[in-house]
Structure 1
């Protein structure tokens, strides 16, 4: 065995890029890489399922703002990670994924029947990655890793894939010079074209009823201050998509919060004579399930060219959200609006307040006191600065609309919508936040899941214990796939295959060494508060049935405030 091999080159390059924590699971073809980890200062977080390792790397990236790094083995290990990579791609989360590959002698047209052999492994990940590379010799490793890092962190961000054959990982790298510290990378940021910003600024200056939809691209670009400045200059109400939650102050007089699934907000956006959509695809949830039909001009800003005008005719601006919003704000400052906002006699602030009142009145009429009280209790029991990770469960669907992220952050799996995201992503976030000595109470992370989705990631209780990660896992147990039950009952009058046998979650968690308890809905706030005063993983189970608010996108009666 060489004293310095290809695996060392991978580890050295990651270290030079500033990586401190990596995620994954060892495998036969990747042993050279994992052996190299033992000669490094990298902290390895070992998951139990590759898909959950991908979610953990995703959560790390979202919580820290640094790319998540995922180490995989060939074939089954690589393929098992794909749903996690799909979520990262759909949500624009930067990740560098390094997979092993069978020896070079087995690659090509021949199929030699090697263990884990997957013909053209790169093609298998093409739909869930931003780029793919196969390393053919040891000296190419540093450049390949750096190029993947640039791809992952360039807008639109996502997972970048590298695969290194087993013989290169194990082979000598003594002939390759050591990787220098501070390895240079240059992420690409799309800059807006000036003439497009000029045209967009003209539309906003002339608008009497401007409005803004802010998506996850605003948060990823760190454009919160630029969005606030533009909204105030334009006098425009702002609604945040679920992925953009926190991009605009929740209690601001122009904030429509995140009620994109309510017809009152949809109608306001449709009535806008200029609608600015920034950092969002205007996809299924954000468009209130494709019912949104803007009647005015649309300005669409996004770093991903494929989403521009995908759903609505618009002035499309391919750009980073921060640069575009700053450019628009500068133009409006230099040449102020020509007209004052006027929504049929209402100011923008009055219309915003009236619309939120209408949303509240509709919820009041639906007998949802239990659901609203439950969500209020979870919010009250969670510190303001905490990062929260939500699985695809009814509580998360409520959270998309009603959760005030405050000084923390809200993360959910609504990009691709796969189950099992919340807990492993929270583990990755906790691993990242633990690196910050000043994180304090905000280093503990909340994960929220249902009993159905929790079974996808239940094995990660072992990961939580092994690494003593500060995660509170709230499992809302309603006896099955609750949202699918509700969908089927509404559509067909009965639900099929939605009811589930499940374990005693408390006893199961305790068997792993996790402190766990079951509480009544009325005790959720106190249980959460208590958990945030502790160290290590905690599980809270509450058995309750939550219902969704009515499908208000189907109600098209006028809901705007009237005098």
Structure 2
């Protein structure tokens, strides 16, 4: 007899899942029944939050949904933070949990791991939450989840299976295809957008995370129009070293001046969130009047109305726009000059201290070309989100925007390394953030994930301390004592280096990469 738990594994395989992150427990034992015989790799984090963050990093690096298995109650609530991050950054994540036996639900009888209304709680953070009550529902709900991931703005989905349902017979069920694709761009909207593009004399493109797999048509459109391209933090790498690239935050005054001067703005895959466009909270960002928006999500398009809204995958929309415009000379001859002037002014605007922190990120990029750098909320990451040009589309991401979950970097980097094993993967974290998920060093070792953990150790939450001082608040609670990270790494059997500043960082990174093993590099900062 095939059980529901065994069928789940078979169906996930049919949907292309090759890795699951999770911690088994008494409420999910039956979900693991078919796992050992499958081709799916299981990775055990040290905390369920780590399972969610690993699934997130896996999804961002690969473009495929990340999957986590967690127990009911505390296992699932531990995962909510990671789901919140995935929801904020449109990351496809499938969380499968157990739940107590059907007859006990909602009765408050004090069963192990009981919640008053687990599914009701998850509906507040997931795109949808579904309880499987019989075997025949499983193929349909999985097809629904994977169709959502591929056809609209993605995010976390939750499926719960009661313990009494997991063991039920599931013979004869098979996967339902999830053939749904993103909507095709509306022809009339493309025609009107092309007309505006050709007429524009000072066009500008804003590219966010939704455009990170549309590098080629984005560059061609920019060149055809002579339009500078401002990339948000999640869009970095799309225009590396390109004369029209502006790898600077739209929150910076020179970038906002560039937007204000443009007579047409094309926004591709960006939600105009304040952590990108108004991070200083001074209401300085004004939505452009002559705006073309491209986004796969109807809800996002509705939140920020534009003159022309195109609901489609960015690559498809940009390809269609290029075809409609046709060949010809650039609409704007001064695009490279406008981009260069903005780059220079934006770099000057961040000031020497932030420039120095950004140089640490450049040192990582230059030492390991084509790397994936996964950041946590730490000073060099904040700095690089303001200004930094990465050399791999989608290869720079972090939790310092949007939801802003501290401790994201280490487990997300493990997920990324397992998703793209040929790429160098560097986790850039601070001494404070690393302590949130420090035990995931063990998970990296177990999974043979060759992540290089670069720890920016300034002995505390210095960014928060600065904010307190700027607000006239005497700093309290911002100096948690860090451990000796190198000794902790060695306790796990992981090699480590300690550097005073970034002078020897490039050589240390190259040595670490050559080993093909997890490695810790601690940088002590004055």
Give the TM-score normalised by the residue count of structure 2.
0.93
Aligned equivalent of 1:559: none
Q: Find the aligned partners of 1:156 and 1:7 in 2 and give their Cα distance.
A: 29
Pick from 337, 340, 345 the counterpart of residue 358 of structure 1: 345
Q: Are the aligned partners of 1:301 and 1:324 in contact in 2 as well (CA < 8 Å)? A: yes
With 399-408 and 96-105 compared, the bigger mean Cα shift is at 399-408
Aligned equivalent of 1:555: none
Q: Are the aligned partners of 2:130 and 2:159 in contact in 1 as well (CA < 8 Å)? A: yes
Q: Deviation of residue 485 (structure 1)? A: 1.3
Q: Find the aligned partners of 2:449 and 2:120 in 1 and give their Cα distance.
A: 35
Classify the secondary structure of the residue corresponding to 2:397.
strand
Aligned equivalent of 2:472: 492
Which runs of at least 4 in structure 1 moved beyond 6 Å after TM superposition? none
- Alignment map for 1:325-474 (pairs within 5 Å): 325-333=318-326, 340-341=331-332, 347-362=334-349, 366=352, 370-381=356-367, 383-407=368-392, 409-413=395-399, 414-434=401-421, 439=422, 442=423, 444-474=424-454
Pick from 298, 310, 317 the counterpart of residue 291 of structure 2: 298
Classify the secondary structure of the residue corresponding to 1:286.
helix
Q: Deviation of residue 389 (structure 1)? A: 0.4
Task: Note the aligned Cα RMSD (angstroms).
Answer: 2.1
Contiguous gaps of at least 5 residues in structure 1: 546-563
Q: Find the aligned partners of 2:462 and 2:494 in 1 and give their Cα distance.
A: 26
Q: Find the aligned partners of 1:369 and 1:257 in 2 and give their Cα distance.
A: 14
Aligned equivalent of 1:199: 192
Q: Deviation of residue 340 (structure 1)? A: 4.0
CA gap 1:294/1:167 in 2 versus in 1, 3 angstroms: closer
Aligned equivalent of 2:18: 20
CA gap 1:529/1:224 in 2 versus in 1, 3 angstroms: same
Is 1:177 the counterpart of 2:172? The answer is yes
Q: Are the aligned partners of 2:497 and 2:520 in contact in 1 as well (CA < 8 Å)? A: yes
Is 1:275 the counterpart of 2:265? The answer is yes
Q: Find the aligned partners of 1:525 and 1:479 in 2 and give their Cα distance.
A: 23
Aligned equivalent of 1:286: 276
Aligned residues: 520
CA gap 1:504/1:367 in 2 versus in 1, 3 angstroms: closer
CA gap 1:39/1:340 in 2 versus in 1, 3 angstroms: closer
Q: Are the aligned partners of 1:472 and 1:537 in contact in 2 as well (CA < 8 Å)? A: yes
Q: Are the aligned partners of 1:300 and 1:309 in contact in 2 as well (CA < 8 Å)? A: no
Classify the secondary structure of the residue corresponding to 2:344.
helix
Post-superposition CA distance 1:393-422 (Å, at most 9, x none): 111112223333213611211231111111
Is 1:530 the counterpart of 2:511? The answer is yes
Is 1:253 the counterpart of 2:240? The answer is no
CA gap 1:370/1:246 in 2 versus in 1, 3 angstroms: closer
Q: Find the aligned partners of 1:121 and 1:90 in 2 and give their Cα distance.
A: 21
Q: Find the aligned partners of 1:213 and 1:74 in 2 and give their Cα distance.
A: 42
Q: Deviation of residue 216 (structure 1)? A: 0.5
Q: Are the aligned partners of 1:148 and 1:162 in contact in 2 as well (CA < 8 Å)? A: no
Q: Deviation of residue 366 (structure 1)? A: 3.8
- Alignment map for 1:137-148 (pairs within 5 Å): 137-148=134-145
Aligned equivalent of 2:226: 235
Q: Find the aligned partners of 1:299 and 1:26 in 2 and give their Cα distance.
A: 47
Q: Find the aligned partners of 2:354 and 2:115 in 1 and give their Cα distance.
A: 51
Classify the secondary structure of the residue corresponding to 1:110.
coil
Aligned equivalent of 2:214: 223
Post-superposition CA distance 1:446-489 (Å, at most 9, x none): 10100111011111111112222111001101111121112111
Q: Deviation of residue 312 (structure 1)? A: 6.3
CA gap 1:201/1:56 in 2 versus in 1, 3 angstroms: same
Classify the secondary structure of the residue corresponding to 1:136.
coil
Q: Deviation of residue 368 (structure 1)? A: 5.4
Q: Find the aligned partners of 1:39 and 1:372 in 2 and give their Cα distance.
A: 47
Classify the secondary structure of the residue corresponding to 2:96.
strand
Q: Deviation of residue 296 (structure 1)? A: 4.3
Pick from 477, 487, 501 the counterpart of residue 481 of structure 2: 501
- Alignment map for 1:63-142 (pairs within 5 Å): 63-107=61-105, 109-142=106-139
Q: Find the aligned partners of 1:240 and 1:212 in 2 and give their Cα distance.
A: 8
CA gap 1:87/1:368 in 2 versus in 1, 3 angstroms: closer
Contiguous gaps of at least 5 residues in structure 2: none
Q: Are the aligned partners of 1:90 and 1:415 in contact in 2 as well (CA < 8 Å)? A: yes
Classify the secondary structure of the residue corresponding to 2:115.
coil
Is 1:211 the counterpart of 2:204? The answer is yes
Q: Find the aligned partners of 2:416 and 2:223 in 1 and give their Cα distance.
A: 33
